[in-house]
Structure 1
């Protein structure tokens, strides 16, 4: 249990961007909710906040528990957060059926994980990839460049963070993932409210 300051800092940046994004998509118009995007921001914020505690070793007596919760919320961000974000973008783009499909896929992924299926990670990766590709395609096709850039940053972070170990351009792969997701949060929040 060694302190990883750079990862704790990148998680802090990600948590702050998630909180900012959640607040940014709040609307004064009672007919506009953006509730699916809020799920993305909430789950990412929870995972990142737990990452700050985990990698900063802020609760050494509870490190194993914090690590478990961090891993769980990181997985929930992928399994539930990305489909919810894709559902929000599909809804904004005027595709309610596809939006509902992403919400159903999130539930299916969650059920598959609770059944201890050996296909849990594959299903999570497939749903996530389809969600990110849909976000990128629908955003750029609809002229919502900020949303599209946010989707590209989520994809880039996923590629950079694949495997988690190692360094690239002087940063750990996990830190690159966190910074890409933080940038994505800013672009997505701005793109949703534009």
Structure 2
């Protein structure tokens, strides 16, 4: 069975706009997904990227236009300037890591619920009540927000190192076992085609 390594940040607007596209592709190809939240700002620093706040105004303006266009095309609600962005990604990332280890819930749904909370619902995903609500709403024990802190911190740091090692430099980023890399929610179709070719 193919495993797709999914590197993402819980405050990435482009990861939010991916919706459940990756989960649909995985189901189509009988593949599994390993969710690997990363500290996107640290990743930028390690791979030559620039945090949005430090980018040239022309790049920021284009990013804004592109996000709005994509949200409209995908018919997804989207707030270009949410009340709680940027925010600390660690609590939501730790919760996802703990939930993946625990199993029993909808992990893809949990990932998407954090992003929706940020980009649609005007919630701060760094706060304990939001983290617990997202866990519970996706079928996980909300106490994972507390019990998974140590494992979460260690895995979160390891995910960053693995991302750099595998050539990941942004989010969302998808890596297949043969080393094929796909950057951006607009490359999901290419991932689908690649997996189809491997199966044939």
TM-score normalised by the chain length of structure 2: 0.31
Q: Where is the helix percentage greater, Structure 1 or Structure 2?
A: 1
* Greater relative contact order structure (CA < 8 Å, 6+ sep): 2
TM-score normalised by the chain length of structure 1: 0.31
